[in-house]
Structure 1
């Protein structure tokens, strides 16, 4: 028995996984009931929390500390949005069948994903402007501050400056290695990779998908999933009346 039902892990031939087939079969046959059952399990909520928490740790520990890519104001706002989603996922995962806990988790997740998209769009606009050959593209672009103002006036930069204090400029995310620092061969390879591409890209040699766009994609996928799950939950509640 697994948390999604009674589907076996392997089919009779032992070649395919009947688990995935069972999920798909139930989703097609009873989409609303299946989606509601999924969100009443801890797996999806913990998956969201782990995914967003993992992105925060990756940005801080690998890119900021290991590769010396300083976070800008919008970057730490994006981390804040991800952190809110982590909190929402953990709260809902305590007991997904509890309406109050799940509602708190949903609100936090929706808020985090929407704010994250907002911050990512702004950062993408700044990134496009500063990397545009036309100097007029910078007209009207608001610069970044090293003194961030988080929603609800949360002093996150004071509580956890290593994680939420901006030290870089928006749009410029190439590694800046301090003088006197000796890099390992692996560090040097990554630093050279991102310096040659003049910043972070999912595929640096081709300048494919900058950091802001990648964050937009992550937040957007979460928002779509939340909308689908919440819609199924609301429909289920409406049918029960």
Structure 2
């Protein structure tokens, strides 16, 4: 009975370890997407992809707040607010991306790509694509994550790059020539599903910690309610306004 996973999650709530793991995971996934897939393997991010980066970094910011002092109730409130808001956004973006991916790879590719913008609209209309265009400006097509290699680098591709994206000029023999999958040969679990799994795992673990915290002392219930209210407020008020041309 003492080996129950719920008991372990409860014991973690006042420690830095789960927050540290979450921060490292979210930042690492964002860095891998940018430096490895985008910059090195020429897999350009689409609109939903850069939104997912925003969601992951929002979670990482919340985790960093908790790392300052995981036993401090006030820091914990802000940490949970940003983490749960990021998870909510991330799950929405992943589901949207997976839907687009499935439609684009079906026989009717025009049915599900509405709203794929060249200029993204972030929560609260944050101009992240202007502040850091290399990270937050979409340059790829929705649902298409095949490598797009500039002709001027054909001759400079190394063995590692060719293994993943293929050999020029057709790039048909690379591991990711048909797009990114966890198991490319079986086209099993695309990028959207893998990111969705990461968000869900964080939700389960941090959700368990949050529930345990809510019942830890009398004021914690009030703090937990504040967290839930502010997450909903952020989600509602943060909905970007679409400016029509």
C-alpha separation in 2, matches of 1:230 and 1:143: 35
Q: Provide the aligned length of Structure 1 versus Structure 2.
A: 212
Which of the residues 100, 114, 124 maps onto 1:152? 124
Superposition pairs of residues 148-227 of structure 1, within 5 angstroms: 148-181=120-153, 182-192=156-166, 193-196=174-177, 198-227=178-207
Aligned partners of 2:22 and 2:60 also within 8 Å: yes
Q: Secondary structure at the match of 1:236?
A: coil
Which of the residues 87, 112, 123 maps onto 2:61? 87
1:77 maps to which residue? 51
Provide the aligned C-alpha RMSD in A: 2.0
Structure 1 unmatched ranges of 5 or more: 1-24
1:232 aligns with 2:212: yes
Superposition pairs of residues 30-109 of structure 1, within 5 angstroms: 31=7, 35-109=9-83
Residue deviations 1:70-128, cap 9 Å, x none? 00000000000000001000001100000010111111111111110000000000000
C-alpha separation in 1, matches of 2:197 and 2:203: 10
Distance 1:30 1:174, change over 3 A: closer
Q: Secondary structure at the match of 1:145?
A: coil
Structure 2 unmatched ranges of 5 or more: 167-173, 222-245
Residue 194 of structure 1 and its aligned partner are, at CA, apart by 4.2
Aligned partners of 2:13 and 2:212 also within 8 Å: no
C-alpha separation in 1, matches of 2:10 and 2:2: 12
Distance 1:200 1:227, change over 3 A: same
The TM-score, its normalising length taken from structure 1, stands at: 0.83
Aligned partners of 1:56 and 1:79 also within 8 Å: yes
Residue 30 of structure 1 and its aligned partner are, at CA, apart by 8.9
C-alpha separation in 2, matches of 1:38 and 1:103: 16
C-alpha separation in 1, matches of 2:113 and 2:158: 37
Superposition pairs of residues 106-145 of structure 1, within 5 angstroms: 106-132=80-106, 134-135=107-108, 138-139=110-111, 141-145=113-117
The TM-score, its normalising length taken from structure 2, stands at: 0.81
C-alpha separation in 2, matches of 1:224 and 1:35: 10
Q: Once structures 1 and 2 are overlaid, which stretch shifts more, 67-76 or 184-193?
A: 184-193
Residue 140 of structure 1 and its aligned partner are, at CA, apart by 5.0
